[in-house]
Amino acid sequence: MAQRVAVSEVGGGRASKRTSRVRVAVRLRPYMEEQDEKGEGPCVRGLGPQSLEITNWRNATETLQYQFDVFHGEQSTQQEVFLSSVKPILPHLLNGQNASVFAYGPTGAGKTHTMLGSPEQPGVIPRAVREVFHLVREQEREKGDWEYSIGMSYLEIYNEKVLDLLSPGSQDLPIREDKERNILIPGLTYVPLSSFSHFHTHFIPASLNRTTASTKLNQRSSRSHAILLIKVVKSQRGPPHRQLTGKLYLVDLAGSEDNRRTGNQGLRLKESGAINLSLFTLSKVVDCLNAGAGRVPYRDSKLTRLLQDSLGGSAHSVMITNIAPEYKYYFDTFTALNFAAKSKLIVNRPFVRETVSSSAPVKRPSDEQASAAAGEPQRKRVKEGHEEEEKEGVPAGAQPHSPAVSTVLDRLLALEKLMMGSPERERLNLLKTVAQSRREIQELRDKQRELEAKALKFERADQDKGMQGDSVLCKTELSSLHRKQSTVARPKKQQAVVPPLQVSQVQPLQQCAVLCKPSLCSSNKQHGPVLKGKENNKAEDSCISNDWESRLDQSVLQQSQQKILEILNSGTLKNLKTLQLVGDKTAKLILGWREINGPFQQVEDLQKVEGITAKRFSSFIKANILGTIGR
């Protein structure tokens, strides 16, 4: 599990070589109806004071559990966050040590709320400053031989420029390092403070100078990293007149952004690039510090350069990762959690299950596939505490995607995997490619939806008028899109064409190599009320559950089984996990079985592996054969 707890008790000020880890807290914002247009419910929930779980978009039957130093749930108050994550580090300032607290997370997840708060619910900044004054007054009372002074600076980093918020209109300020490795910003306004209310008179107007702009996601989205510096200078009244300075950085980071979702363009896009770059560097720095790496890339961004003497080394740092529970934030949340945690646990027990009522409009599988592929997790209704057998035998997350979408999705998955272990520049390039893939998926999804809607309209018209002519046109257009998707995605390989529902109805089943994927058959079922009666649906259901193999060309079937057998017999753990319905645990069981019993003679032997029942095997074989053909 992620172990980032041990903020070392450093006795000797900045000269100490000991490196503190960054303490990681996660705060989950309350679920907000208005942020969830589709009414999908939350995709993440707390499990305890240090852990949470999120649904696994790769497999809807699993959740991913994460552990942190602290988890602040939806109900957590500003006071609780302050007391457990921030207050403990403040006394170090009075010993000449540095500290930093920064709020990280996607746009709209609650960073500003956590750091700044509101007059009714003040956040970390006002509480921390008040506490610093309190600690100083206490020390002054107890130890009369030292005198203290407190002062502030306030700046923002916007588009990699350092701007003074206490002196609006100032130019980009340089960042320097003195002989003792203290970071300085020559020209930055420094205001000595006499009291907490004095702090307020400077801080509030300066906060309004912060560069904010409206994006689709957050009306006052922070476009810059706002950094408040509180300095405590402790001077000995008598000889040898020692002086100690402790710096506290309180940082409200700009939101990490997915530009596809925010709709950023032009200047906003440029801002977003700078934001993501510095956050990326910050993540590298935190990773290096927590891994005890020799070289920490502080200099790669202004943000980390500025925080250099207050992040790592002898400084005490806390990162509060803010996350949002709505599905539309799923990937941002997922990324933020992966940044914050070093490891995670996959659990085969979803905390959500499908409970779409029969009267509710049913979402078509093509939409499901496309939305999962486009970076949104499978849609689910939440009902906790129960588990239900999968009705179709194939879990929602295991349903095959249309060839084009799954090709892009495969690429996306591969890229994401690759990114985890790549050096920084490579990761940036990969990030770009990932964004491009996501865009492609989105475009394919939109086009597919549009044509399916069109086809459905024609189908209805046909039924009313008893005519076929027009719909053929649309069906042809739709099937040509599918063909186009296949060829665009993989021009050189021969592609299995997956005809949409309407096409498979008018074509004899044996004409195509692949005729009916379960998702498409169930798509058929869901169009049922429009297209046919209930009994036909039933008949078709049984065709889906029992007859799918007979719909396939036998040689194709054999080839696919052979391919699966090859993976089962020679695949590594990683290869095995590429099979549908094979997670980490099953892959390990397969490897174990193979080691003891030798190669599988036929795919059916898989049922000899512990936990693979006949039902599971049948789902496995169905999902994988159709998946293999689709590739």
Q: Which residues define the annotated binding site for ATP? A: 105-112
Give 127-142 as a DSSP string: HHHHHHHHHHHHHHHH
Taking the CA atoms of the chain, what radius of gyration do you get in angstroms? Answer: 29
Measured distance CA(566)–CA(601) in Å, rounded: 10
Q: Which residues contact 1 (CB under 8 A, 6 or more apart)?
A: 67, 341, 342, 343
Q: Which of 55, 56, 224, 322 binds ligand ATP (CB under 6 A)?
A: 322
φ and ψ of 550, to 5 deg: -70, -15
111 binding ligand ATP? (CB under 6 A): yes
Q: Which long-range contacts (CB under 8 A, 24 or more apart) does 511-517 make?
A: 513/552, 513/553, 513/556, 513/629, 514/552, 514/556, 514/626, 514/629, 514/630, 515/551, 515/552, 516/544, 516/548, 516/551, 517/400, 517/626, 517/630
Measured distance CA(269)–CA(538) in Å, rounded: 51
Nearer to ligand ATP, 70 or 444 (CB): 70
- 3-42: contacts with ligand ATP (CB under 6 A): 29-30
123 binding ligand ATP? (CB under 6 A): no
Q: Which of 63, 67, 100, 112 binds ligand ATP (CB under 6 A)?
A: 112
113 binding ligand ATP? (CB under 6 A): yes
Q: Which of 85, 218, 369, 448 binds ligand ATP (CB under 6 A)?
A: 218
Q: Which residues contact 590 (CB under 8 A, 6 or more apart)?
A: 568, 576, 582, 606, 609
Question: Min. distance of Cβ 281 from ligand ATP in angstroms?
Answer: 18
Q: Strand, helix or coil at 79?
A: helix
Residues 89/238, Cβ–Cβ less than 8 Å: no
Nearer to ligand ATP, 110 or 518 (CB): 110
Beta bridge pairs of residue 418: none
Q: Which of 20, 55, 97, 221 binds ligand ATP (CB under 6 A)?
A: 221
Q: Quick one: which segment of 157-165, 217-225, 261-269, 392-400 binds ligand ATP (CB under 6 A)?
A: 217-225
Nearer to ligand ATP, 111 or 231 (CB): 111
Q: Quick one: which segment of 111-119, 288-296, 484-492, 567-575 binds ligand ATP (CB under 6 A)?
A: 111-119
Q: Which residues are annotated as a binding site?
A: 105-112
Question: Min. distance of Cβ 232 from ligand ATP in angstroms?
Answer: 27
Centre a 10 Å sphere on the Cβ of residue 591 and count the other Cβ atoms it contains: 16
442 binding ligand ATP? (CB under 6 A): no
Question: Min. distance of Cβ 71 from ligand ATP in angstroms?
Answer: 13
Instruction: Please report the sign of the dihedral spanned by the C-alpha atoms of residue 547, residue 551, residue 554, residue 559.
Output: negative
Measured distance CA(563)–CA(117) in Å, rounded: 57
Q: Quick one: which segment of 105-113, 449-457, 462-470, 570-578 binds ligand ATP (CB under 6 A)?
A: 105-113
Beta bridge pairs of residue 27: 72, 322
Nearer to ligand ATP, 254 or 565 (CB): 254
Measured distance CA(52)–CA(69) in Å, rounded: 12
- 225-264: contacts with ligand ATP (CB under 6 A): 254-255
Q: Quick one: which segment of 169-177, 214-222, 453-461, 464-472 binds ligand ATP (CB under 6 A)?
A: 214-222
174 binding ligand ATP? (CB under 6 A): no
Nearer to ligand ATP, 176 or 220 (CB): 220
Give the interface with ligand ATP as residue ranges (CB under 6 A). Answer: 29-30, 105, 107-113, 218, 221-222, 254-255, 322
